[in-house]
Structure 1
Amino acid sequence: MISEEYRKRLQKANYKIIGKNQHSAVKLCLWCKKSIKSGEKEVCYKQQFYGIKSHRCLQMTPALPFCNLRCAHCWRDTTSASKEWKGEIDPAEEIIEASIKAQRELLTGLGGTPHSEVHLKEAMNPNQVAISLEGEPMMYPYIDDLIRGYKARGFTTFLVTNGTLPERIESLSNLPDQLYVSLTSSNKEMFERLQKPVETRLWSSLLRSLELLSNLKTRRVIRLTLIKGVNDKNVEEFARLIEKSSTDFVEVKSYMAVGYSTLRLKYENMPSFADVMKFAEDLNKILKWDIEDKNSASRVVLIKNPRGCKRFLGP
């Protein structure tokens, strides 16, 4: 499923590759580790924005080598882009059990460093899953079963998609608790230049996904990745796309110059937090929504639709 060279590279980066067919993986999030080490004094912006617990979050992908975009800003190696799934498929239940086991194994490495014992113990029983990490999760054929299985175990489910597979979104009988659609391009020309789709139809597919968001019965977020000198002058076009979606939230987030993205973009393309804040304010002047919160460490601003759902998860 993946080459030996690719496997070694991932393992060196502390990925835990799981499943018989090795198309899934788990990696401890930086903020999960920080929360455990600091006793929840340092947490992910998603805890601040939505109330999930960083130290109990499991970050995983069921589609490690599969994506239909080759985004310049992606920190991953994009050479394995493909328009369809190839090879055998591990069942969702096996992936879920293996992911929880892998998370616990990765967490044991924190026991030898200064940490909060209470938070490490809680982390051993994750209750939040971020289905993202690497690849396009909607390409995994049993994504519906994966969401169902995590929910059955009491997990809150966040799923991040690039939005190019609207038919898969439509087919979900088990929606995630929070569905993210990534938005980095404001028009077709930018999409093809910046995100290099494997099929020319994918811009239209993304537009269809944005339309679908308006009727989905779950929490909806557009994550707008801002790249200085690339897409930061297109605020009006972005506003029109966001209005079409009727999304509950918009996260305006800085491109981060890490990993393979540094081979395709320059450090100067990474906006400062002030740049992100200015863009969010300009965007909100058009949307006339609410700038709800911000996190300077992650260079992200939360915009809330006043007609959308409540901000924090839970009863």
Structure 2
Amino acid sequence: MEERQVEEKEIYNMLNQKLVKQGYHIIGNHSSVKKCYWNHAALVEGRFCYKGKFYGIESHRCIQLSVTNHWCWNACLHCWRLRPQDVGIEWNETRMPFADDPKEIVEKAIQEYRRIISGYKGRPGVSPQMYKEATMPKHVAISLTGEATLYPRLGELIREFHRRGISTFLVTRGVRPDVLANLEEEPNQIYISLESWDKESYNYFNRPLVPRAWELTLETLEMLPSFSSTTVYRITIVKGYNDNETALKGFARLVDIGRPDYIEVKAYMYVGASRGRLRLDNMPRHWEVKEVAKKLSELTGYPIVSESMPSRVVLLSKLEKPVRYGNAPVDWNSPDISAPGEYEDTA
């Protein structure tokens, strides 16, 4: 047993070093933090992420965190992150042989985030007040890489962030309904990532590595209305794959099941390892995303309430007003901007 644990730690260390080269900051054995494009844009240019516009998130105070750097139950074609399969390692060789203490992860995530943004102190153009606020993170997106619900102490982690006054946004593929149903504490918002609309498309595009992954996803969607958290479907549009009538009708059926508070229709981004599996012309322009969103709106009855051109995303919701988790100086009705966004370096 000890020999196997040593071998698994060596695999993790090797994969972690590859993440470091991609700009990830490793914390503990299986977690990481990475600076977001919008951390920089908010501090240097005063521009905020679409999540600021949609949900009030203050981009300069938001941590991007993974708690499962290399463990996922899917090998999605559009995934830009490092997959163990991309470096010749079987998925079950990266299973978590240990689980770091959630309090340690939270503490180290905050420390590492502060270290990341420390370079902005005194930088020309950076407001001292904005920098001071940035040293006191207010939000954490638990996503980044891997499947967060595979971390066995996720509920404790969420509770610890909340204890420190930090709002939590959990992104998941929905493959662990058992974990979500038994969280010690719910996140503030639950994102379900979707690219496929039925089992056949899911098996082709999302490449499940475990049996019944699609059925497990449906179980998660069925339980979404029971959460007190706000719920979001993030439908990533891959041009030429899921922007057709069949796919959109399938997504509409999934909306009927989960009845999310929000639907984000967002463009696939042609970056990272996905460039070896997909093409540049699979990445839609914003106007193309908006056309898809309009069709989905007609099929679901969810009106379009906002959009962000730089992030190529359109928001649908039946809520009369947004649930805001911060004080970003933008909202649903703020004029959209055509300034550069995270997609600019990909096209």
Maintained 8 Å contact 1:67/1:82: no
Q: TM-score, normalised by structure 2?
A: 0.86
In the alignment, is the contact (CA less than 8 A) between 1:85 and 1:140 conserved in 2? no
Q: Distance in 2 between matches of 1:213 and 1:223?
A: 14
Preserved contact between residue 305 and residue 315 of structure 2 (Cα < 8 Å): yes
Distance in 2 between residues matched to 1:136 and 1:225, nearest whole Å: 17
1:108 equivalent to 2:108? Answer no
Deviation digits for residues 188-226 of structure 1 (CA, Å, limit 9, x no counterpart): 111111111002300000011110112111100010000
Which of 174, 182, 203 is residue 163 of structure 1 equivalent to? 174
* 1:113, distance to aligned residue in structure 2 (A): 4.2
Cα distance in 2 for partners of 1:111, 1:173 equals 37
2:20 paired with 1:45: no
Alignment of 1:128-207 (within 5 A): 128-207=139-218
Give the letter aligned to residue 36 of structure 2.
C
Give CA-to-partner distance per residue, 1:61-93, whole Å, 9 cap, x none.
111111010011111122253498431211100
- Structure 1 match to 2:34: 27
Q: For 1:220 and 1:83, how far apart are their aligned partners in 2?
A: 32
Are 1:17 and 2:26 matched, yes or no? Answer: yes
Quick one: which amino acid aligns to residue 6 of structure 1? L
SS at structure 2 position matched to 1:222: strand
Structure 1's unaligned 5+ residue stretches are: none
Task: Report matched runs for 1:159-308 at 5 Å.
Answer: 159-233=170-244, 234-306=247-319
Deviation at 1:312, TM superposition (A): 2.4
Q: Aligned equivalents of 1:130 and 1:314: distance in 2?
A: 14
Instruction: State the alpha-carbon separation in 2 of the partners of residues 314 and 8 from structure 1.
Output: 34
TM-score after normalising by structure 1: 0.94
Q: CA deviation at 1:7?
A: 2.6
Instruction: Extract structure 1 runs of 4+ deviating beyond 3 A.
Output: 1-5, 80-85, 111-114
SS at match of 2:226: coil
Tell me if structure 1 keeps the 8 A contact 2:15–2:70: no
SS of 1:109's equivalent in the other structure is helix
Counterpart residue type for residue 27 of structure 1:
K
Q: Which amino acid aligns with 1:182?
A: S
Q: Distance in 1 between matches of 2:111 and 2:53?
A: 27
- The alpha-carbon deviation at position 285 of structure 1 amounts to 0.4
- Give the conservation status (yes or no) of the 8 Å contact 1:280–1:301: yes
Provide the C-alpha distance between the structure 2 equivalents of 1:35 and 1:286, rounded to a whole number of angstroms: 36
Q: Take 2:312 and 2:123, find their aligned partners in 1: how far apart are those partners?
A: 28
Residue 292 of structure 1 and its aligned partner are, at CA, apart by: 0.6
CA drift at 1:111: 3.3
Contact preservation (8 Å) 1:162, 1:181: yes
**Higher relative contact order at CA 8 Å, sep ≥6: structure 1 or structure 2?**
2
**Code of the aligned partner of 1:216:** F
Residues of 1 paired with 2:74 and 2:307: CA distance?
Answer: 29
Provide the aligned C-alpha RMSD in A: 1.8
d(CA) in 2 for partners of 1:85, 1:61:
15
* Higher helix residue share: 2
Structure 2: distance between partners of 1:124 and 1:177: 21
Structure 2 residue identity aligned to 1:198: L
Structure 2: 5+ residue runs without aligned partners?
1-8, 86-90, 328-347
Name the SS for the 1:52 alignment partner.
coil
SS in 1 for 2:289: helix
